[in-house]
Each structure stands twice: as C-alpha cells, then as structure tokens.
Amino acid sequence: MKKNVVIRKFRKLINNPKAFFADAKIVKKVASNNSHNNDGNHGGKHVFGDIVLDGKVGLSIKTDCGCKPINYDFSSLLVKVRKSSLPKNEPIYSNIISYKNDFIGFRDNNIFLLNVNEKSLSNYLDMREIQNSPWNTSPFSGYKNIFIVDPANNLPLFLKSTSPFLNIHCIFTENVSTQEIERCLKWSKGIDVCIIHSKHSISLNKAKKIYTFCTTNQLIDAIHNIILIHGAKPFDLLVPCFGHVPYIENIDSINESDCDVYIKLRGKLPIIGQRKSFYDFVSILSKNIEYILCRESIMQRYENIIMQENISYFISEVSFEGFRLEIEN
C-alpha cells in the first residue's frame, strides 16, 4: 500500500473512527464475494446449452457463448438429459467435477454439460432435413471430446458430422436396453469409444475402443483415460500394430516423417481393375501386408480393432478419418 494512502486512512481513523470501521466491513464483504465467484474449483457456470428436437423446427440448439474451454486438447462436453436444476448435482457430472485428482480434463472450465431432451436421444434424425439447420453451426469445433449418455438413435452421427476433429464417445448405462445400444451403433457409425455397463452382453466388433464398468468410479476412470488418450502428447512415436516387425534401420527417419500409419508390403500388388472400389483395393492390400506401424495415439484409439487383427477395417477407418498413410514395397 502506498504511503499517502496509509496516511489518509490513518487520518480518517482519528477524525471519524465510526466511518472508518463501517467502510472496512464493506470492503471485507466485497472481497469475500469476489473470492467466491472466482473459485477455480466449480465456481463458474457449467451448462453449455440445450439440444431440442421439435417436430416443427427439427433439431435446434441453444448455446452459451461464455462456455469456452481453457485447454482445447483436454476439453469435453457431456450430453445428457438433465435431472437436476443444479449442474453440480447432476449424476456423472457431479462425480467428474468432484474428482480428487487435479486432472486438467475434469476442471469445470474444461468440461461442460449439454442438456438434451428425451426425443433427441431416442427418435431417428433425418440428416437431409436438418443438415443445414442452425444447429450445425454450433461451436462444437471448440471442443475435443463429446460424451453422450444413453443415446438410442443416430445423434452421435449428427454431432460427429459438425466437425472432423470431434471425438464422439457413447456411455451406455444400465438404464438403456441392449436393443437400443445395437440400434444406436448401427445408425451411428464412427463412434470413437463405447463405454458400456457390464450388464449388457453385446458384440462390439466394429467399435474402435471399448470400456466396461459396473461402478461410478470405474466410469469416471474410463472418461479420465479417454480424455488423456485423445489429448496432446509431447512424443507420438510409431509402434507395431500388425504383423511381425523386423529390425528397421531407418526407423528414426520414418518417425520424423509426417505419416501416421506406415504399411510395409510383402511385394508388388497385383494389377487392380479400374472398376474396383476403394474397399476392394483395401481388401487386396490387406492380404499383401508384411507389417503395419502406427502412431501410439492411434493404437490406443483403435485398440479393439487391432486386437481382433482386422487389418482391412483398420485401414478403411484410419483412411476415412484422414490419417496419412505411407505404403512401401
């Protein structure tokens, strides 16, 4: 505090002590309110907006422009039907923001609630009708991950279509039926991760990565790992994912290249007719592969497909997502 300010306050204390102490109480009260509002742990607003399915309007979304993450690489939206007027009392979300570990992805300025009504989670959505609707311009591109709780329709596909950089993860709890899960997966291709309750017995051969849970803590740990896997990495090296990989003399130069997936062929491919589709090409290619290397982040994301040794589906999916492939004879 400056010297002249101290002198002025001291004079006020001598000349009018009653006014001095009254002002001190007001300042103390204002400071207390400010410290409460600026609390870094769950003091801010939690709701990103609302998704509403209306028979007349179609799919619409209302967003709060003030809800922006401070770190894109570890940012998320949790899409669910709100059960409480207070976001901090919402199931799943309340467990996330009260997580004991100081994980950047669980800080309340990096993860927000996106409320959705029941119809938007259950009714089939016609992309032709609402693809050009205002909802499609919503700022989802500012977030890295979207977790959708108990979808039973193709809503994951619509959210995925808003940005090629979005990662869509579906959480299927014990409250949804196995038939609804199968329908959602059939209608919404391209789901990045399935987090599914252990009570469901279902084949998930086409899912890129799978987590199962039976307790809330296991669910929160799964969400934690998913945000971490899709976050930024200081080093993302090429690792073996298919075939028997020998000693590679120039592995350092391959690692430093721009390729995300490195494919080594056994020899030259047979001549492919002009009328062959991309999937025909992938099928022929997968039968002539000696080994495949991919970035560690890709291996973590496609763990389920790699464990099944489904080479053709792996190549199709990474190509569809825009990863850079390098093929060498």
Question: Tens digit of pLDDT for each residue in 232-257?
Answer: 888 899 999 999 999 988 899 999 99
Residue 20 resides in a domain: no
Query: What residues pair up with 240 in beta bridges, in sequence order?
Result: 293
Contact 287, 269 (CB under 8 A): no
Residue 18 resides in a domain: no
- List pLDDT tens digits, range 203-216: 888 889 999 999 99
The string over 299-319, giving b where at least 16 C-beta atoms fall within 10 Å of a residue's C-beta and e elsewhere, is bbbbbbbbeeebbebbbbbbe
Q: Please count the other Cβ atoms lying within 10 Å of the Cβ belonging to residue 203.
A: 8
Last residue of a domain, one of 178, 211, 230: 230
- List pLDDT tens digits, range 115-171: 888 888 888 887 777 666 666 566 688 899 999 999 989 889 888 888 888 999 999
What six digits make up the tokens of 258? 């721009």
Which residues are CB-neighbours of 247 under 8 A, at least 6 positions away? none
Last residue of a domain, one of 176, 207, 230: 230
Domain that holds residue 245: 238-325
Residue 319 resides in a domain: yes
Q: Would you state the pLDDT for residue 149?
A: 95
Helix (H, G, I), strand (E, B) or coil at 139: helix
Residue 31 resides in a domain: no
Distance in angstroms (rounded) separating the CA atoms of residues 205 and 293? 21
**Based on the number of CB atoms within 10 Å of its own CB, is 68 exposed (0-12), middle (13-18) or buried (19 or more)?**
middle
Last residue of a domain, one of 207, 230, 253: 230
Q: Would you state the pLDDT for residue 12?
A: 64
The count of structural domains within the chain is: 2
Tokens 């329908």 correspond to: 183
320 and 190 part of one domain: no
Q: Please count the other Cβ atoms lying within 10 Å of the Cβ belonging to residue 232.
A: 11
- Low-confidence residues of the chain: pLDDT under 50: 1-2, 25-44
Residue 75 resides in a domain: yes
